[in-house]
Structure 1
Amino acid sequence: MLALCLRTVAASAPAVPSRLLKPGSLKKVVFRYLAHQDSLPKLPVPPLRQTCERYLAVLEPLVSAEELEHTRRLVAEFTMSGGVGERLQKGLERRARKMDNWLSDWWLQTAYLEFRMPVVVYSSPGVVLPRAEFHDRQGQMRYAAKLIAGVLDFKTMIDNETLPVEFLGGKPLCMNQYYQILSSCRIPGLKRDAVVNHAHGKAPSTHITVVHNYQFFVLDVYNSDGTPLTVDQIYMQLEKIWNSSLQTNKEPIGILTSQHRNTWGKAYANLIKDKTNKESVRTIQKSIFTVCLDAPMPRASDEMYRRRVAVQMLHGGGSRWNSGNRWFDKTLQFIVGEDGSCGLIYEHAPAEGPPIMSLVDHVVKYTKKSEVVRAPMIPLPMPQKLRFNITPEIKKDIEKAKQNMNILVQDLDIKVIVFLHFGKNVPKSYKMSPDAFIQVALQLAYFRMYHVCCSTYESASLRMFRLGRTDTIRSTSMDSLRFVQAMDDPTRTVGWLQHPRRNISWHFELRGLKGQAIDRHLLGLKLQAIEDLTSMPEIFMDTSYAVALHYNLSTSQVSAKTDCVMCFGPAVPDGYGICYNPMEKHINFSVSAFNSCAETNATKLAQGLEEALLDMRDLLQQTPKARL
């Protein structure tokens, strides 16, 4: 049972690591990107009855028998011949024929741009990188210079369209997200945001923004002949910025971007009424990316250090520390602390985790390269400092943002653990998916805490389709419920746990990858009803639908070659945000929860996860591999 359960819990689809070309071998292949994109299949619209049957199966372990029976009646009515479901399905199929991807625009709008909670914690993931080996300002500047040069090196492949195409299972993946993460930024609105990208216009961006002591600077990163600045040149420019930003009593204008989106939208409209402010904001938005040179955070033990860096990447630590040293709307912000803490935070609208992690892997590898002999330095102009005119009204908005950020900082509980007992090696030795193994362990840990199972979200890649983003893998099933119940049931034997084939839903992984999962299809049917201006079908007003979408466990595997971990906040007030990076002999985890919820505890769940992993390994070891 364990072996089958582990093999059948759906795994997300981490991008296959690219084999990156050396900069010297880069030659632009005309229309390569477009030709590749056009060759990809379109995202299919799954059959209506198939989705509805799988929806009912998802609900079975989550709702009562009475609720399930009520939902069955609603589904039967929805799918009846000539009914509303068929009409909405036909509308989706027409949309799919007309568009490159029937889902992508809707998903961008509903999941991100219409989402009104702050992007901080609620949307934007942070990435904790290994601690760098420096402990002073010069080391900070040198590392930041290498990091910037590494991103520019990666950007060369994007600009020349020579970025190696990624494959999964022998099939090419959509590379569009790579072309959206640089020179892009989110722009707040009063009811809906927008995303702008300045990488592909007539005058693409040639500068980055650097922020230190809450002050923003423009750093041109290309010479007049179009070549990128060397590490030494960037280092000298960063030194100028640091020396010009010693004054720390500046207003932290960047903290405005941490607000609720409607609040920030109003403050933004007021901020850019001033011409100087508008020009400064536009310069930040157009920059290739942002580098945040952070002040050192409080000292901590090794265990507390991991947590401290996680919160530094996610929100900056509050208004006393580095939360004002950000522009959270910027798609990519690399963070380098004076104490060696390093990482990044990215605004989620343009891309998922795998393209970000491919960039991270490249940049980290680049920072480890030995430095070349220094060439004679050509004097460069002083980086431009961006000016802001702070009116009393803007000052009031900043103070409100500080208060709200500090409340959020106090509310977020996050635990970062390095599970050292084993990594991918153990499940792989039993021919099991490491991701599936971890997902079952999460189910077991949660069940032991709450004695029920819950709606669980794991992102599944749709990048094998043109402009594909994600769908939802649902790890909770009747089979996973039976397994976690049996693990601690003394009347059950090991043999029962490993009983062959108890209708394990092992196709769930394949459904997610092949565009046959249920969540985005149901969302499409709901949005089609809204677009058609028809009354909302009852299945979307049903309590069961709300339960299915209330993800107490919001999880993601984001793999990287770099020994790092991504972290993000919970999806619901009484839930957990869990991300993991399985390395060969250890696993990096982040677990988050809100302190304001008395029922959740990130430390307790993290401990329970470690215990579950060990118990499952012990169970495997009790049975010869031949029987699995």
Structure 2
Amino acid sequence: MTVASNGKSQSHGRSKKMRPPFPLARKFPSKLERWTYRTFNGIENRLWPFRPSVFSSSLIAITAYNIRVPTNFLMQSIPSFDNKYLKIVKTLAVSFGVTYIPVFIVRQLLCYVYFSYKGFLFEDPKKPSLKTKIWGIFRKFLSFVSPPQLESCDRLLPRMPVPKLEDTVEKYLQSIEHTMNKDEYNIVKEQAEQFLKEEGPRIQRYTKLYSLLVDNYVTPFWVKYAYLYGRSPLLINSSVGHGDLFEDAPATWAYRAAHIVYIEYMSHLAIDKQQYKPLGEGLVCSRHYQNMYAVTRIPGEEIDYRDDYGISKYVIVAFEGRLYRIDMCDENNMLYSIDDLSKIFYELLNRGLTPIEDARGKIPALTHDKRDQWARNRKKFFLENETNKKALAEIEAAVIFISLDKEDYGHDSQKPEKLSHFLLNMLTGDGTNRWVDKSLNYVISQNARAGGTTEHSIADGAEFDHILENFVFLDTEYLEYPPIEEQKQIEKIDESDKNKLKLSRELEFDVNDEMASEIDRCYEAHLKQKDDLDLASLIFTEFGKGLIKKCGVSPDAFIQMAIQLANYRVIKYPQLIVIILLITLGSRQIRLDLRARFR
């Protein structure tokens, strides 16, 4: 069953018991509506596990009591005022204090007792300790009585601890001991001992002081120096590739595109409204979710920065060298249904325009460049040209960037190279079909296969996986596809549809000779990098993460050790070529993350 934007249902065989992981919106919120729900959510997150309705009712009751009995103990404990306005302020202050103190105490207990408990991480789940059992019972009770919103628990999570300097240095030396020869290791060990005696203690004091002022002293430095200061091209070096399921989607090209865009847009609005269910009932920080959609990494000559555009009404689509804007709602802000979007994509795919094969059809290649050079080109060719500046603004504020790819991707057990080719293209693109700066790029092939690329500075594996898990559920279980022949009938567009729907609009660019030369240079440079990348895929089903956990090792650590072992064997035995770039552990979903965040 496909849920239409007008609230009606289009029956496609969905089970009535199915529920989406988050509400599917019907209308794009106005500025007032967005301000209202964001304000309400902000208040609720500062009161959780108490609800605003409970808090406000208590506040009103206590205020009424203080007005009715102004001689009570609390009112008498504060000096009286002759001024009537000061009396009102006094009454409200006392009432608010009395109402909020229990909230404050409960939240502090949750922070320093419930959320700080980590014993369950180190115990056998089949034989938990009494502490863990009590903690687990309380967790279920809390989640049932007051289920948190996406960001309800973020302010209650414990601060990132500062480890002992000696322990950090010791673990570092242990981690490199077997990757260096004896002489190299002794040099590093001597430098480490010198660091402990000289600048180390001073830096440690600064770190402890800084950690008292923020709840996480690591993330800002990590994002800044590990990502935003990086000057290398993002594709291959930093960005993450991802793919959909092994099975082919039972869909036409246009209908599959409509499905994907609809789901991702619902996800975009649900995150903004904090209707996403938080991981672990709030045990995992969720602040990165706001970076997933309508966010662009802006290049700088020395350091990049991220620009968050809030919520957006449209996506940008690349097809045959042209870029198009596709709106997600009509003039009345009513969101289009999947069927409506399929008509819009069908019209775009069948517009019959000649593909652009020269530099004008490769404009996104400029984003594949080194970050400092892209920053200079962005300023010269876009910000200083009114036509291109307008197009750039639309691209950077879009929810996601979509590429409609004429290649056929997929998986064939008899031809494993087919899957490797698919994943390689999800990671690298073809040099023209990714706007690299966008937080999320999606690729939809002619045979309805889907994948894409994610800019890595916005988030980590946990958020990516959560988004994709919800996507897979909605795509395969909740919003089922009608038969192919029915899809073909649905997506056909007539004159009444053209009058009712906002069809895709092509973005205009002004490409001069200098810009064309830079586009060609960036394109050729990216092709060289792509050709220099070897990727082989392995679909491994003999065992999965469950068995690995029984061995007392995390799946992430297991894969990283496998990669290190492969590297060791390559170095020790040059005649062996061992490439492990993708391992899928008992999962339906293919996941590629070159930073070794494999599931």
| TM bucket normalised to smaller | 0.5 to 0.7
Aligned residues of 1:134 and 1:140 also touching (Cα < 8 A): no
Task: Tell me the distance in 1 between the aligned counterparts of 2:586 and 2:331.
Answer: 35
After superposition, the C-alpha distances for 1:166-218 in whole angstroms (9 at most, x for unaligned) are 12xx871100111111110111122221210111xxxx311111111121111
1:239 is aligned, of 346, 366, 374, to: 346
2:505 is aligned, of 358, 378, 384, to: 384
Task: Tell me the distance in 1 between the aligned counterparts of 2:408 and 2:418.
Answer: 10
The equivalent residue for 1:20 is 21
- Partner amino acid, structure 2, of 1:328: V
After superposition, the C-alpha distances for 1:588-626 in whole angstroms (9 at most, x for unaligned) are xxxxxxxxxxxxxxxxxxxxxxxxxxxxxxxxxxxxxxx
The equivalent residue for 1:264 is 374
Higher fraction of helix:
2
Give the match's secondary structure for 1:447.
helix
Shift in Å, 1:357: 1.9
* Structure 1, unpaired ranges of 5+: 1-17, 454-551, 569-576, 582-628
Task: Tell me the distance in 2 between the aligned counterparts of 1:237 and 1:436.
Answer: 45
Does 2:315 match 1:208? yes
The equivalent residue for 2:567 is 446
Task: Tell me the distance in 1 between the aligned counterparts of 2:26 and 2:435.
Answer: 35
Aligned residues of 1:48 and 1:89 also touching (Cα < 8 A): yes
Does 2:124 match 1:113? no
Task: Tell me the distance in 2 between the aligned counterparts of 1:66 and 1:134.
Answer: 56
Does 2:537 match 1:416? yes
1:312 is aligned, of 425, 441, 444, to: 425
Aligned residues of 1:332 and 1:344 also touching (Cα < 8 A): yes
Change (3 A) 1:435 1:251: closer
Task: Tell me the distance in 2 between the aligned counterparts of 1:225 and 1:25.
Answer: 11
Report % sequence identity: 21
Does 2:85 match 1:85? no
- Structure 2 matches for 1:184-583, cutoff 5 A? 184-199=295-310, 204-244=311-351, 246-249=353-356, 250-272=360-382, 273-296=384-407, 302-316=415-429, 318=430, 323-368=431-476, 369-370=479-480, 379-424=500-545, 426-427=547-548, 433-451=554-572, 562-568=588-594, 580-581=598-599
Give the match's secondary structure for 2:592.
strand
Task: Tell me the distance in 2 between the aligned counterparts of 1:432 and 1:400.
Answer: 46
Shift in Å, 1:64: 3.2
Task: Tell me the distance in 1 between the aligned counterparts of 2:564 and 2:524.
Answer: 36
Task: Tell me the distance in 2 between the aligned counterparts of 1:211 and 1:416.
Answer: 27
Aligned residues of 1:223 and 1:229 also touching (Cα < 8 A): yes
Give the match's secondary structure for 2:452.
strand
Change (3 A) 1:166 1:556: farther
Change (3 A) 1:41 1:30: same
Shift in Å, 1:298: 8.7
Change (3 A) 1:421 1:561: closer
Give the match's secondary structure for 2:538.
strand
* Structure 2, unpaired ranges of 5+: 1-18, 28-36, 46-149
Give the match's secondary structure for 1:133.
coil
Shift in Å, 1:74: 2.8
Structure of higher RCO (CA pairs closer than 8 Å, 6+ residues apart): 1
Instruction: Please tell me whether Structure 1 or Structure 2 has the larger radius of gyration of its CA atoms.
Output: 2
Aligned residues of 1:143 and 1:367 also touching (Cα < 8 A): no
Shift in Å, 1:557: 8.5
Shift in Å, 1:56: 2.3
Does 2:240 match 1:125? yes
Change (3 A) 1:106 1:556: farther
After superposition, the C-alpha distances for 1:256-301 in whole angstroms (9 at most, x for unaligned) are 1111112212211111111010110110100111111112159996
Aligned residues of 1:557 and 1:579 also touching (Cα < 8 A): no
Task: Tell me the distance in 1 between the aligned counterparts of 2:538 and 2:580.
Answer: 17
Does 2:216 match 1:101? yes
Task: Tell me the distance in 2 between the aligned counterparts of 1:339 and 1:134.
Answer: 8
Give the match's secondary structure for 1:412.
coil
The equivalent residue for 1:30 is 41
Give the match's secondary structure for 2:297.
strand
Task: Tell me the distance in 2 between the aligned counterparts of 1:139 and 1:261.
Answer: 37
Task: Tell me the distance in 1 between the aligned counterparts of 2:584 and 2:161.
Answer: 25
Shift in Å, 1:556: 9.3
- Partner amino acid, structure 2, of 1:122: N
Give the match's secondary structure for 1:269.
helix
Task: Tell me the distance in 1 between the aligned counterparts of 2:315 and 2:159.
Answer: 35
Shift in Å, 1:155: 2.4
- Structure 2 matches for 1:143-222, cutoff 5 A? 143-167=256-280, 172-199=283-310, 204-222=311-329
Change (3 A) 1:256 1:557: same
Change (3 A) 1:58 1:51: same
The equivalent residue for 2:170 is 53
The 10-residue stretch of structure 1 (292-301 or 272-281) with the greater mean CA deviation from structure 2: 292-301
Task: Tell me the distance in 2 between the aligned counterparts of 1:401 and 1:234.
Answer: 33
Task: Tell me the distance in 2 between the aligned counterparts of 1:566 and 1:117.
Answer: 20
Higher fraction of strand:
1
1:67 is aligned, of 173, 184, 201, to: 184
Shift in Å, 1:141: 0.9
Change (3 A) 1:77 1:19: farther
- Partner amino acid, structure 2, of 1:119: L
Shift in Å, 1:58: 2.2
Aligned residues of 1:198 and 1:205 also touching (Cα < 8 A): yes
Aligned residues of 1:165 and 1:175 also touching (Cα < 8 A): yes
Shift in Å, 1:313: 0.7
Shift in Å, 1:25: 13
Question: How many residues matched?
Answer: 443
Task: Tell me the distance in 1 between the aligned counterparts of 2:470 and 2:409.
Answer: 30
Task: Tell me the distance in 2 between the aligned counterparts of 1:337 and 1:447.
Answer: 38
Give the match's secondary structure for 1:186.
strand
Change (3 A) 1:559 1:160: farther
Change (3 A) 1:441 1:114: closer
Give the match's secondary structure for 1:364.
helix
